[in-house]
Structure 1
Amino acid sequence: MKHRRDIALVLIGFLRGFRGDELARLHIEHTQAEVGAGITFYLPYTKGDRQHQGTTFHTPALIKPCPVQAYINWITVAGIAHGPVFRKIDRWGNLADGGINSNSLIPMLRRIFTQAGVPSDIYSSHSMRRGFATWASANGWDIKSLMSYVGWKDIKSALRYVDAGSSFGGLALKPSAPQVEIL
Structure 2
Amino acid sequence: MSTVEIYARAATRENTRRSYRSALQHFEAEWGGLLPASPDTVARYLAEHAKTLSISTLQQRLAALADWHHTHGFADPTKSQIVRKVMKGIRALHPAQQKQARPIQLEQVGQIAHWLDEAIAAAALVGRKPEQLRYTRDRALLLLGFWRGFRGDELARLRVEHVNAVSGQGMTCFLSQSKGDRESRGKTFKAPALRALCPVDAYLAWIALAGITDGPVFRAVDRWGNISEAGLHINSLVPVLRTLFHNAGIALAHQYSSHSLRRGFANWATSNGWDLKTLMEYVGWQDAHSAMRYMDAADPFATMRAAHGQAGATVL
TM range, smaller chain: over 0.9
Amino acid of the residue matched to residue 167 of structure 2?
V
* Shift of residue 176, structure 1, vs aligned partner: 3.7
Q: Which amino acid aligns with 1:139?
A: N
Q: Return the alpha-carbon distance in structure 2 between the equivalents of residues 70 and 42 of structure 1.
A: 18
* Residue in structure 2 matched with residue 29 of structure 1 by the alignment: 161
Pick one of 167, 175, 182 that aligns with 1:43.
Answer: 175
Equivalent position of 2:62 in the other structure: none
Aligned to 2:188: 56
Query: How far apart are residue 169 of structure 1 and its match?
Result: 8.3
Determine if the alignment matches structure 1 residue 131 to structure 2 residue 264.
yes
Q: CA deviation at 1:156?
A: 0.9
Q: d(CA) in 1 for partners of 2:253 and 2:307?
A: 32
From 283, 293, 304, the counterpart of 1:160? 293
Matched position secondary structure for 1:161? coil
Q: Does residue 80 of the first structure (1) align with residue 200 of the second (2)?
A: no
1:51 Cα offset (Å): 0.9
**1: CA distance, partners of 2:162 / 2:300:** 40
Q: Normalised by the size of structure 1, how large is the TM-score?
A: 0.93
Structure 2 length-normalised TM: 0.55
What amino acid is aligned across from residue 311 of structure 2 in structure 1? A
**Greater RCO between the two (CA within 8 Å, min separation 6)?**
1
- Give the number of the structure whose residues are more often helix, by fraction: 2
Cα offset, 1:139, TM superposition: 1.3
Q: SS in structure 2 opposite 1:126?
A: helix
Where 2:309 maps in the other structure, the secondary structure is coil
Q: CA deviation at 1:91?
A: 1.9
Amino acid at match of 1:11: L
Q: What's 2:224 paired with?
A: 92
Unaligned runs of 5+ in 2: 1-132
Bigger fraction of residues in strand? 1
Measured against aligned partners, the alpha-carbon deviations of 1:52-75 in whole angstroms (never above 9, x if no partner) come to 110100011011010000000000
2:233 equivalent to 1:101: yes
What amino acid is the match of 1:120?
Answer: A
Q: Distance in 1 between matches of 2:221 and 2:281?
A: 34
Structure 1: any 5+ residue segments left out of the alignment? none
What percentage of aligned pairs have identical amino acids? 55
- CA separation in 2, counterparts of 1:28 and 1:140? 32
The whole-number CA distance in structure 2 between the counterparts of 1:169 and 1:102 is 37
Q: Distance in 2 between matches of 1:174 and 1:64?
A: 34
Give me the whole-angstrom Cα distance separating, in 2, the residues matched to 1:141 and 1:56. Answer: 20
2:300, 2:278 → 1: CA distance? 20
Which amino acid in 1 is paired with 2:307?
Answer: L
Alignment-derived partner of residue 11 in structure 1: 143
Distance 1:76 1:167, change over 3 A: farther
The answer as to 2:299 corresponding to 1:175 is no
Structure index of larger Rg:
2
- Letter matched to residue 45 of structure 1: Q
* Separation in 1, partners of 2:194, 2:160: 20
Matched position secondary structure for 1:15: helix
User: What is the Cα-based RMSD across aligned positions, in Å?
Assistant: 1.5
Q: Which amino acid aligns with 2:229?
A: D
Shift of the 178–124 alpha-carbon distance from structure 1 to 2, 3 Å rule, reads closer
> Residue 200 of structure 2 aligns to a residue in which SS?
helix
Could you tell me how far apart the structure 2 residues matched to 1:151 and 1:173 are?
A: 37
Instruction: Compute the displacement of 1:167 (Å).
Output: 6.4
